[in-house]
Chains A and B, each alone.
Chain A
């Protein structure tokens, strides 16, 4: 137990160092790379006097290390700058929109793991048989498909042709008036559940399906392949032979003895796909008009809303570091060998 805590502490420390490094790189991109950061911060319609003021404000006339200190001071105070587009503090914009994106991200990754891992396991179990071929085909199609394209195709097929699912948005606009959801956590699904608002719940679900599946396509492909690979490798190990030598039933051997060993590299892959999914939300949200962080990012990119873009980059990278930390700790809990390195 003590060893595991030590591991957690060490990983935490590493993460903090990485976060500092991330801030340095973002600072570099934000202040050092552009030819005139002040101009970018104020927007294209600024006057010379305003530019000079912002330049002073950002401390651009000071030496770099001092600039960085100001930057860090602002960061730790939660000041990520002000969005040119909305005139609101960037951090606030991020927080407002995070819940919608998180809902999409969680659902997408949940689907990806739910579908991807079993597909990979079954594919390894029935290696060479038809199921294996099917899964491998699905995997490679999934990792080759551009997310934005898939989204558009889904809209075409499921909305226009089949009329099964709504085309965009998080919830039908009419429902905002007839069955509004009382905000508790700001997660629509959760709130609808908590307040017993079944009609809204069903509606949000329908709206969530296509975006989540679009987001999950690439992760499903990747997770299925990697799980299959990890399982195949594990199934060749001596300890599996031992288990069979003692007559342990095939189901137990595959789904318990082998899987628990294969789950560790699988978790690593899931962690990596979260990175993809994070950036995937940009495309998915734009296409499905999802009011989340992704569509805000794309809007900021189109408008060259510099403070917003840099703030989002920092936020996104930090979130990713934290997610990886969680995944690593999960792995250490499952595989007793890891924490003892």
Chain B
């Protein structure tokens, strides 16, 4: 008997919103447009950090004690910190860990969580029970607390903090994808595929997962903002990037003792975190309105 072709049934992909449509909406909405531009600017800053920073070596950590606690002036628009390092350069150099690592964290959280959620939702039964119990267990911890404990157990450092956040974040995507899968499971195209003998793994991979892309995308965009905040928080607590490297959260912590007199050391990196997170949240909101205006959760 001839092998049944892998895609005996054409997968019904629900993406009625094409990339073009998304671009159209963004361009017309001033807030969304501004957010996208801001994000693009920061991405460029991350890529060209060494070129963009006026004092790249100081950005990386080289001290310049002569300039210690310098107020903002022409040569140093954002002032200098306790070790005389140019704050502007440090902020620019800090863009790389601030963006790249959260993107990685969200990516891995999705890669781990989404398939688990799809399997749980599709198979049901004891597999579902087991996966859901494990998910509930991880979600029982307030996320930053778990991340803190894991980061401590693994040892200080940027990569360990990232791992900690991945472990804290994946359950959310499992829940999300499981919900979508359950609602999709009853749909005809899935029944049709099953009836023609398409294997379960193929059904999940080709039929179900592609339909989860838009809710995941919306959630991921907003999560990027939250993860950036969390990383900043961990760095502030000393669990993230270690000195002398530049990191926004770390810089806020370093400037804390000087907040009342040399306010610029903490203010500018903190403001940067705020602006980037705001941009991601606004963009995420717009995406949510496009893909599912009813979803308020």
Classify A-B as touching or not with yes or no (CB < 8 A).
yes
Q: Is the CB of A26 within 8 A of B149?
A: yes
Task: Provide the main secondary structure of the chain A interface.
Answer: helix
Per-residue CB contact flags for chain B residues 153-190 toward chain A (1 = under 8 Å, else 0) read: 11000000000000000000000000000000000000
How long is the Cα–Cα vector from A294 to B154 in the complex, in angstroms? 21
A335 CB within 8 Å of chain B: no
Q: Are B140 and A146 in contact (CB under 8 A)?
A: no
Q: Is A169 an interface residue (CB 8 A)?
A: no
Interface of B is mostly: helix
Q: Which of A144, A156, A226, A275 is close to B277, meaning CB atoms less than 8 Å apart?
A: A144
Flag if A21 contacts B267 (CB, 8 Å): no
Binds B, one of A59-67, A71-79, A298-306: A298-306
Known contacts being A301-B238, A316-B142, is A140 close to B282, with CB within 8 Å?
Answer: yes
Binds A, one of B8-16, B85-93, B207-215, B255-263: B255-263
User: With A21-B140, A313-B148 in contact, do A29 and B263 touch (Cβ < 8 Å)?
Assistant: no
Instruction: Give the residues from 115 to 150 in chain B that come closer than 8 angstroms, CB to CB, to chain A.
Output: 133, 136-138, 140-146, 148-150
B285: interface (CB < 8 Å): yes
A322 to B229 Cα, complex, angstroms = 26
Residue of A29, A278, A321 with highest tally of chain B CB at under 10 A: A29
Contacts across chains A and B counted by CB atoms under 8 Å? 140
Given A33-B153, A229-B297, residue A140 in contact with residue B285 (CB < 8 A): yes
Cβ-defined contact, B281 with A226, below 8 A: no
Is A279 a contact of B140 with CB atoms below 8 Å? no
Band of interface residues on B? 35 or more
In the complex, A313→B153 CA distance in Å?
Answer: 12
> Do B137 and A152 have beta carbons less than 8 Å apart?
no
For the complex, is B270 an interface residue (Cβ under 8 Å from A)?
yes
Tell me if A114 counts as interface (CB < 8 A to partner B): no
Q: Which of B223-275 contact A (CB under 8 A)?
A: 225, 229, 232-233, 236-239, 249, 252-253, 256, 259-260, 263, 266-267, 270-271, 273-274
B152 at the interface (CB under 8 A from A): yes
- Inter-chain pairs besides A146-B232, A146-B252, 7 sampled, C-beta below 8 Å: A22-B137, A140-B281, A144-B229, A152-B267, A156-B259, A279-B144, A283-B236
Binding site for B on A (CB under 8 A): 18, 21-22, 25-26, 29-30, 33-34, 140-141, 143-149, 152-153, 155-156, 159-160, 167, 225-226, 228-230, 232-233, 265, 275-276, 278-279, 282-283, 287, 297-298, 301-302, 304, 306, 309-310, 313, 316-317, 320-321, 324
Q: List 23 A-B contacts (CB under 8 A).
A: A18-B140, A22-B137, A25-B138, A140-B281, A140-B282, A144-B225, A144-B277, A144-B281, A145-B277, A146-B273, A149-B266, A152-B270, A156-B260, A156-B267, A160-B260, A275-B143, A283-B237, A302-B238, A306-B152, A313-B141, A317-B142, A320-B145, A324-B140
